[in-house]
Structure 1
Amino acid sequence: MELEGGEKIRIRVSRSNGTVERSLDQLQLVMLLAVPAFLGLAVFGSYFLAKLALRPIDHITETAVSLGAGNLSRRITGIESRDEVGRLAGAFNGMLARLEDSFQREKQFTSDASHELRTPVSVIMAYAENLAAHAPDRETVEQASAILTESRRMHSIIAQLLALTRGYEGKYQLSLEEITLAEMVSDVLAELTEAAAAGGITLIEQVPPRIQLSADQSLMTQLLLNLVENGIKYGKAGGTVAVNALEQDGHILLTIQDDGIGIGEKELPHIFDRFYRADQARDRSGSGLGLSIVKWIVEVHGWTIQAASEPGRGARFTIQI
C-alpha cells in the first residue's frame, strides 16, 4: 500500500486458528467414537436380520433332521410368508405327507401279506411233512424235505415280519417283569450249545448273578437268541461268542461279542435295516430280519444299542439298559 508521500507500507492481517484446531480435534474424537459404534451397530443389525431371515430355514433343517429318527409326522409350522421360503416349506410338508402315506401303506401291506400267507405256508408244511413220511422212494423224500425246509424258513420270515410290523405300529404291549439276567443268558446259551458245537464255536458267559432288570421276558429271550445266533452264524471254527454284562453309572451294559468275519465299515450303518445283508455274509440261511427285530426290541424297552466291528476281527453289540 502506498501513501501520499510515496511511502509504502504493508498491512498483515492474521487471526488465531485455535478455534479451527479445536473443531478438528472434536471432529476427530467424534469420528473415533462414532465409526466403531456405527460399525458395531451395523454388524449387530446385519446379524439380527440374517438370523431372523434364516430362522425358517433352521426350522426346516430341524424338521429334516427329525426324519432321520423315523418321525414322519412332523410338519413345518409357523412360516406364513408367501416368498420362496414359504413355498419351500409348503413343498416340504407336501413331500412329508406323501412319504408318511407311502410308509403307512407299506406297513399295512406287510402286515396284511404276512397274516394272509401264514395259512397257505402252514398247509404246505403239513403236506410236505406227510409226503416225506410216506414217500415211496428216496428221491421223493429228498424233494419233500427240501420243500419242508424252505416252507419252514418262509414261515419263520412271515412270523418275524408280522411281529416287526405290529411292533412298529405300536400294537405290541410290553409285559414287564423282573428278570435275573444270568439265568436268562444261561438258558439261551444252553439252547444254542448244539448249533455252536456244530460250527466249532465256544460260548462264553460272563454275567454277574446279582444283575436284574425289568423287561419283557419273551422279547428279551428273542433278543439274546438273535444276537448269539448271529455270532455263531458268522463266527469262525475255533472261535468264541461271549455274552458279558456289567453295571455302570446306573445302567446295565450287555455285550454280545464274537471273533468271526466281522462287518465292513460301509455295511455297519445298515445292519439294522430289514433284509439287509453285507456282501461277505450273503446267504439264504437267515431271514435278514434278526437285527431289525433286535433293534425294535431295544427301542420298545427304551434302551439303546451300538454295533462295532472290523472285518476279520468279529463284531460287538452293546446294549445300554
Structure 2
Amino acid sequence: MVELIVLILAILCVYLIFKYMGLKKEIMSCQDQIEYIQENNSSMRISSSVRYKPLLKIIKLFETQREDNKSLYVKHLHQEETIKELISNISHDIRTPLTSIQGYVEMLESANRDKQVQYIDIITKRLNDMEIMLDSFFLYTKLQTQNKPFILEKQPVYPLLCDVLLSYYPQLSKIGLEPKIVCEDENLEGYINADQMKRVFQNLLMNVIRYGSMPFQIELYRKEKDLVCVFSNAIKAEHIEVEHIFDRFYQADHSRSNNGSGLGMAIVKDLCEKMNIVIEAQIECGIISFVMIIRG
C-alpha cells in the first residue's frame, strides 16, 4: 500500500514538473513575442498553445491595452493633422484682412483728416475680424485636444439667451434683424454649462448676422422631459449644403468674403456634444432651423 502511494506521488510529481516546464516554456515564448512586437512595432498577435487561464488572461489584457494604445495613437495623429489644417486655413483667412490693413496704413500718411478717420474705422473693423478668427481658432483647437468634460448643471436657459441677445442687439438692429422670441415658460431648465451655452448662442447669432435675414425666430419649449431650442431664419445664400454645415471651414459664402473663420458652426457642434445636446440643421422653403434638444 505504501509503495502504491509513493508511486502515485512520484507520478504526480513528474506530471507537475512537466506541466511547470511546459508553462515556463510558454511564458518565455510569450515574452519573446512581446519583445519582438515592441522592437519591430509589429501587429502580430500573441499566441499560446497552453490553455492556462491566468496566462490567457494576461495575454488578453496585453492585447486590449495594445489596441487602446493604437487607438490613442491614431487619435493623436488625427488631432495633429487637424491642427495643421487649422493653421493652414486660419493663415489663409488672416492674410486677407492683414493685407487690407497694410494698404490702409500706407494710405493714412497722405490722406486728409476725413479720410484718415474713415481708414482708421476700416482698420479697426479688420482687426476685430482677425480677433474673432483667432478666438475661434484657439477655442476649436482647445476643444479638439482637451478631454476634460464640462460641468453640467440644471438651470434656466432663457436668461442666458436674453443676455446674449442683448449683447448682440446693436449688430442685429443695424442690419434690420429683429428676433421673435417664443418661450412658453421663462423658467424652463436643462442640463448645461452656462458659459459654453452662451458661446453656442453667440455663434448661432453670428451665423444669423452673416448669412441670415428676416423672418428670424427663436423658440424655447418643453418636449416630454427635454428642452427644445430652435433658431430659425431666412437664408441669403442661394445654396447651402445642410449636411456639411457643421464641417470645419464650411461657409455658405464660398468666396470667403465675409471674413469669417468657417469654424463657428463646428464649434457649436463640438460644444453641444460635450454638453450632451443633440443639434441638427434643417432647411425648408428658404428657412434654416437649428434644433437643439437639451436634456432636462
User: Counterpart of 1:293 in structure 2: which amino acid?
Assistant: I
Residue by residue over 1:253-297, the C-alpha shift from the partner in whole angstroms, topping out at 9 and shown as x without a partner, is: 1111112336746x1111111221124785324222111111011
- Cα distance in 2 between the residues matched to 1:240 and 1:184: 22
Residue by residue over 1:157-199, the C-alpha shift from the partner in whole angstroms, topping out at 9 and shown as x without a partner, is: 1111111111111255524334311212222222222222222
Q: TM-score, normalised by structure 1?
A: 0.56
2:198 is paired with a residue whose SS is helix
| 1:262/1:314 contact within 8 Å kept | no
1:187 is paired with a residue whose SS is helix
Q: TM-score, normalised by structure 2?
A: 0.60
The equivalent residue for 1:219 is 196
Query: Aligned in 2, Cα 1:144/1:173: closer, same or farther, shift over 3 Å?
Result: farther
2:179 is paired with a residue whose SS is strand
Identity across the alignment (%): 21
How does 1:62-81 map onto structure 2 within 5 Å? none
The equivalent residue for 1:168 is 144
User: Counterpart of 1:250 in structure 2: which amino acid?
Assistant: K
The equivalent residue for 2:283 is 309
Per-residue deviation, 1:304: 1.1
User: Counterpart of 2:228 in structure 1: which amino acid?
Assistant: L
Residue by residue over 1:114-153, the C-alpha shift from the partner in whole angstroms, topping out at 9 and shown as x without a partner, is: 8xxx9xx9xxx9xx99x98xx9744444444433322221
**Structure 2, unpaired ranges of 5+:** 1-42, 48-70
The equivalent residue for 2:80 is 105
The equivalent residue for 2:169 is 193
The equivalent residue for 2:292 is 319
| 1:110/1:161 contact within 8 Å kept | no
| 1:262/1:315 contact within 8 Å kept | no
- Cα distance in 1 between the residues matched to 2:217 and 2:255: 20
**Structure 1, unpaired ranges of 5+:** 1-75, 81-95
- Cα distance in 1 between the residues matched to 2:249 and 2:81: 15
Residue by residue over 1:51-76, the C-alpha shift from the partner in whole angstroms, topping out at 9 and shown as x without a partner, is: xxxxxxxxxxxxxxxxxxxxxxxxx9
- Cα distance in 1 between the residues matched to 2:210 and 2:171: 9
Aligned pair count reads 215
Q: Of the candidates 280, 296, 300, which is equivalent to residue 270 of structure 2?
A: 296
- Cα distance in 2 between the residues matched to 1:222 and 1:263: 27
Q: Which has the larger radius of gyration?
A: 1
2:217 is paired with a residue whose SS is strand
- Cα distance in 1 between the residues matched to 2:256 and 2:172: 20
The equivalent residue for 2:219 is 244
Per-residue deviation, 1:104: 2.8
2:252 counterpart of 1:278: yes
User: Counterpart of 1:319 in structure 2: which amino acid?
Assistant: M
The equivalent residue for 2:228 is 253
1:200 is paired with a residue whose SS is coil
CA-based RMSD of the aligned residues comes to 3.9
Point out which structure has higher relative CO (alpha carbons under 8 A, 6+ apart): 2
1:245 is paired with a residue whose SS is strand
- Cα distance in 2 between the residues matched to 1:215 and 1:248: 17
2:212 is paired with a residue whose SS is coil
| 1:185/1:205 contact within 8 Å kept | no
